[in-house]
Structure 1
Amino acid sequence: MKRILILGPGGAGKSTLARKLGEKLDLPIVHLDQHYWQPDWTPMEESRWPEVVADLTAGDRWVMDGNFGGTLDLRLPRADLVVFLDVGRWQSLWGAFTRVLKQSGQVRSDMAPGCPERFDAEFFIWLWNFRRDTRPVLEEAFARHPQTPMVRLTSRREIQQWLDAL
C-alpha cells in the first residue's frame, strides 16, 4: 500500500486516520481541505480544482483524506486502497461536535490557513444528510472503479482494530 484514499463524513476520523497511517507506513499525508479552502473558508476556483487534485495524486506515495465527489474519478484509479469510514450519523455528528468544542476558533493542522474550526448550519446539514446525499455519490464512484480495493469501517472500534492489524 503506497497510495491510500480515506473517505467518509465529517467527524468520522478521516484526518486522524490519515495521520496515523502516514506515521505507521511512512507515507506523506495529503489533506485535501488544505488545498481546496482559502482563507475565510473561501473555496478554490472550481475550474482549477481538478488540476490541483491531479497533481496531488500524481505522486507515488501518499495517504489522502477528503471526499470532494467531483474528483473521485481522478483519485480512485490512482489509489492502491480506499478506506471508507462508513460511520453512522450520530457518530459523525458527535465527532464533529467534540472536535469543535476542543478546537473552536483554532485552525486545525489538517486545515488551510485562515480557516478556523467551526460548526455552522451548512456543515450540520451536510453531516445530517451525508448518508442520503454524499454516500450514494461515493458508492457510485466505487462501482465505476471496482479494481480499487476498499475497506469499509463502520465504527471507531473497527477503525482502531484495522489500524492495529496493519
Structure 2
Amino acid sequence: MGANGAGKTWFARRLSDRMGASVICKDALALKTGWVQRARADVRADIVDRISAERWVLEGGPSVLIPEVLARAGLVIWLDISAGLRFWRIIRRSLRYAGRVRSEHPPGNRDWPGLRQWRFAWGALTGGDRFRGAIEAGLDGVVIPVVRLRTRVEVVDWLNAHPGG
C-alpha cells in the first residue's frame, strides 16, 4: 500500500506473480464509469469477499487498512516513496495512457492529461503528510510485520531478495 504514484500496482503484480496469488486492485473495486466512486460500504464488502481466497495481494491506499484485511494479511508492505517521484510517475503514466484505460481500472475511466490529472498529481505532491498520517493511524497496533520501503532501490532490492513472495 501507499500514496498515489508510489508504484503499488507495479509492485503488486510482481509480488503476485512470485507468490502465485491474485491481485486485488482497490481502484478496480472503487470506480464506476467516468471516475465516479462507488459507495465505501460496497467497496469494503467486495474487498472482504475477495480476501477470503487462500492467497492474495491487495493493493491500495490507507483505505485498505481495515480490520478484516489486517486479520487475514501475513505482511503489510508500505511503499513510502518521495512526493517528487510520485508526482513525476502520475504525470508520466497520464501521458503514457492518454485516452486509454489502464488495466487496473474498470472500463470508462480513460486517462487524459488535463486539469483533473494535474490536480491529482498536485495532491500527490502536497498531500504526503496526510497519506502518511492515515497509513500510520491504520497501522497503529498492528501485530503483523510491516515492511516500509522508501526508495526505488529498496523496492527492487526487496523483490529480488524475496523471489517466492
User: Given the two structures, how large is their TM-score scaled by the length of structure 2?
Assistant: 0.88
| Native 8 Å contact 1:22 1:63 kept in 2 | yes
Q: Who is 1:160 aligned against?
A: 156
- Structure 2 distance, partners of 1:91, 1:160, is 15
Higher strand share: 1
- Structure 2 distance, partners of 1:139, 1:43, is 24
> How many matched pairs?
159
- Structure 2 distance, partners of 1:71, 1:162, is 22
Q: Which region of structure 1 is more displaced relative to structure 2, 48-57 or 8-17? A: 48-57
- Structure 2 distance, partners of 1:128, 1:9, is 10
The C-alpha deviation readout for 1:39-87, integer Å capped at 9, x for no partner, is 1011112332221221122222101111152753332222111110001
Q: What residue ranges of structure 1 are gaps of 5+ in the alignment? A: 1-6
Q: Determine which of 116, 121, 136 is the counterpart of 1:139.
A: 136
Q: What residue ranges of structure 2 are gaps of 5+ in the alignment? A: none
| Native 8 Å contact 1:11 1:96 kept in 2 | yes
Q: Which region of structure 1 is more displaced relative to structure 2, 61-70 or 149-158? A: 61-70
Provide closer, same or farther for how the CA distance between residues 57 and 129 of structure 1 changes in structure 2, counting only shifts above 3 A.
Answer: farther
Q: Who is 2:47 aligned against?
A: 53
Aligned 1:9-88 pairs, distance under 5 A: 9-69=3-63, 72-88=66-82
Identity of aligned residues (%): 27
Q: Which region of structure 1 is more displaced relative to structure 2, 17-26 or 68-77? A: 68-77
CA drift of 1:122 comes to: 3.9
Moved over 4 A (4+): none
Q: Who is 1:123 aligned against?
A: 120
User: Given the two structures, how large is their TM-score scaled by the length of structure 1?
Assistant: 0.87
Q: Who is 1:113 aligned against?
A: 107
**What is the identity, as a one-letter code, of the residue corresponding to 1:137?**
A
